[in-house]
Amino acid sequence: MNRRRFLGIGAAVVGAGAVGAVAVPSAARLLAEGRPGRLLPSQLDLPAPFQVDLPVPAVLKPVRTDATTDYYEITQQLARLEILPGLRTEAWTYGGTFPGPTVVARSGRQVAVHHRNELPVPSVVHLHGGHTPAASDGYPIDLVLPVGSNASAMAEAGGMPGMEHHAEASPGSTVVGDRTYTYPGTQRAATLWYHDHRMGYTGPGVWRGLAGFHLLHDDEEAALPLPRGERDIPLMLADRSFAEDGSFRYPAADADGPGVTTDYMNGVLGDVILVNGAPWPRLTVDRARYRLRFLNASNARLYRLELDPQPSGGDALVQIGGDGGLLESPIGHDALEVAPAERFDVVVDFARYEPGTSVRLVNRFGSDRAAEVMRFDVSTRTVSDDSAVPDRLSTIERLDPGAAVTTRTFSFKRSRSDGWTINNQPYQPGRALARPALGTTEIWRFFTDLHHPVHLHLDHFQVLSRNGKDPGPYDAGWKDTVDLRPAEAVEVLVRFTDYRGTYMLHCHNLEHEDMAMMADFVVE
Ligand code: C2O
Ligand code: CU
Ligand code: CU
């Protein structure tokens, strides 16, 4: 394994050199479709939908707690999982399951997660949506090498050409075997998730299973009469493709190099829709309100989720929260558009359906098998439900555009020579595209060629405008990922708080991210 491959640096450029030569869907066609990505078909017969029960990932127990902190242990390991009935799929997992175990945290308490890497590859853990000091944020070259990696692997990782000046930018640096990531938890209740963030390899890492929920609760949320317990369910949506033998298919550019083959550069779409790791599952629900926390953990696929049938009167999906926690007040939707990495926290009242109704969750952006997601079977038993969705959920401080000290512009586009870029620059560790001052508010303006879900680490933001007009129907509340359609411009307001250091700004289409649509910003 040569060292460039090992870290993936430079390969985006190598891969991108071939762009002009291969038939790639034209921008015009993608514009017409309005969606990125290319289907990678499975090489086996897909199972019938709604045959398996929805799994809910297990909640991880702390190994120890003290006055301030809950301590967790996760071993990253290979596991042979039964994802498709009767077949085994080798997955890269957190703790042996996909999704990984759910970390449930309490706002105000610190969480320390000790990760041990028993995978055959280096890893990096990022808590997506976490308000995290840089050293624990999962900088993409702060590798945890596999347990037992020797000095030469370490030297390769640390001794890359050009790495000298990156050492400073890299807040945690490379280690062998294990690392403890510390999350202060000084943020509001929200649906967060953790996933692999290794430079050049986030796409295959997440595709093979490295993703899990991290739920944060607080007193404000606990005081509301929202559905809870068994009626508060995280739903991780992820499309995948499988080879004949049941293994995951992924169009890697070459055996151990980063990135994908040129024809999949726009993003990899699978033809099997997994919810919490199960293909098109079903769930029996009471005639009661449920809180469903949707996370799109797909590499590139966008969903337009609807219930079918819709309850009479519409507004089936009552949004109560987004990436950064509760909204100020609920928003009724007939459909939810969810881009990669976005979270939508919704309440569905299944009492609006007759007992015995089967309600499909469908994806209006999907075709064929990708048009189905899961099914809710409304039970005939009589239950009580004392939950409610109050008109007022929370108070959200409106960031003031007048207080912004600067406006910065970031262009997300594909370059002929450099792959996917931000401001024409392919990702290079240590090269910051912005240096905001701690404590200040800025307006960041994003614009796109094609579809790009833009994500910021460190702080949640508020969408200020979309194409010079009001924010869209899915832009409410605090967000950390905002979806831009082709040739759009979105302005967000962000205040940089609490931590100095190097953080990431990137497209969360994971193939775009791996092929260099990422940048450092340094809070000074
Ligand atoms: Cu979910 Cu930087 O990523
Ligand atoms: Cu993130
Ligand atoms: Cu993108």
Q: What torsion do the CA atoms of 147, 173, 251, 205 make, to the nearest 10 degrees? A: 60
Nearest ligand 1 atom to the CA of 195 is 1
Query: What per-residue confidence (pLDDT) applies to 157?
Result: 63
Rounded CA gap, 452 and 448, in Å?
7
pLDDT higher than 80, residue 153: no
Query: Is-contact 502 169, C-beta < 8 A?
Result: yes
Among 222, 244, 271, give the residue marking a domain's end: 222
Using CB distances shorter than 6 Å, the residues near ligand 1 are 126, 128, 195, 197, 341, 455, 457, 504, 506, 508
Overall domain count for the chain = 3
- 180 and 108, same structural domain? yes
- 207 and 236, same structural domain? no
Rounded CA gap, 266 and 300, in Å?
8
Rounded CA gap, 204 and 206, in Å?
6
Residues 6+ apart with CB under 8 A from 223: none
Is residue 392 one of the residues assigned to a domain? no
pLDDT higher than 70, residue 246: yes
- 460 and 370, same structural domain? no
Query: Is-contact 366 273, C-beta < 8 A?
Result: yes
Query: What per-residue confidence (pLDDT) applies to 21?
Result: 34
Query: Is-contact 436 473, C-beta < 8 A?
Result: no
The parent domain of residue 261 ranges over 229-378
Least confident of 216-220, 228-232, 253-257, 298-302: 253-257
Q: What average pLDDT does the segment 132-143 reach?
A: 96
Q: Cα of 20 to ligand 2 centre, how many Å?
A: 31
- 159 and 73, same structural domain? yes
* Nearest CA owner, ligand 1 atom 3: 128
- 513 and 465, same structural domain? yes
Query: What per-residue confidence (pLDDT) applies to 36?
Result: 79
Residue 446, domain CATH: 2.60.40.420
Give the tens place of pLDDT for each residue, 62-87: 999 999 999 999 999 999 999 999 99
Q: What angle do CA 325, 327, 329 make, to 5 degrees?
A: 155
Is residue 180 one of the residues assigned to a domain? yes
Share of residues in the chain with pLDDT > 70 (%): 90
Q: What average pLDDT does the segment 371-390 reach?
A: 97
Question: Nearest bound ligand to CA 479?
Answer: 2
Q: Cα of 469 to ligand 2 centre, how many Å?
A: 27
- 236 and 140, same structural domain? no
79 exposed, middle or buried (CB, 10 Å; 0-12, 13-18, 19+)? middle
Q: Cα of 232 to ligand 3 centre, how many Å?
A: 31
- 303 and 200, same structural domain? no
What is residue 466's three-state secondary structure? strand
Query: What per-residue confidence (pLDDT) applies to 304?
Result: 97
- 425 and 372, same structural domain? no
Higher-scoring residue by pLDDT: 35, 475: 475
309 prior amide bond cis, ω within 30: yes
Query: What per-residue confidence (pLDDT) applies to 14?
Result: 32
Give the chain's end-to-end CA distance (angstroms, integer): 37
Question: Nearest bound ligand to CA 300?
Answer: 3
Considering the entire predicted model, what is its pTM?
A: 0.92
Give the tens place of pLDDT for each residue, 310-355: 999 999 999 999 999 999 999 999 999 999 999 999 999 999 999 9
- 188 and 115, same structural domain? yes
Nearest ligand 1 atom to the CA of 128 is 1
Q: Token pair for residue 402?
A: 């007048």
Nearest ligand 1 atom to the CA of 193 is 1
Sign for the CA dihedral angle at 12, 15, 17, 23 comes to negative
- 427 and 322, same structural domain? no
Give the tens place of pLDDT for each residue, 352-365: 999 999 999 999 99
- 50 and 115, same structural domain? yes
Rounded CA gap, 48 and 224, in Å?
39
Nearest ligand 1 atom to the CA of 457 is 2
* Nearest CA owner, ligand 1 atom 1: 128
Q: Cα of 280 to ligand 3 centre, how many Å?
A: 27
Question: Ion ligand 2 — residues with CB under 5 Å?
Answer: 128, 457
Question: Nearest bound ligand to CA 505?
Answer: 1
Question: Nearest bound ligand to CA 35?
Answer: 3
Please, what is the average pLDDT of the chain?
Answer: 91
Is residue 395 one of the residues assigned to a domain? no
Q: Token pair for residue 112?
A: 């320390």
Q: Cα of 18 to ligand 2 centre, how many Å?
A: 30
Q: What average pLDDT does the segment 438-449 reach?
A: 97
- 201 and 242, same structural domain? no
Find residue 191's DSSP bridge partners. Answer: 215
Is residue 442 one of the residues assigned to a domain? yes
Query: What per-residue confidence (pLDDT) applies to 221?
Result: 98
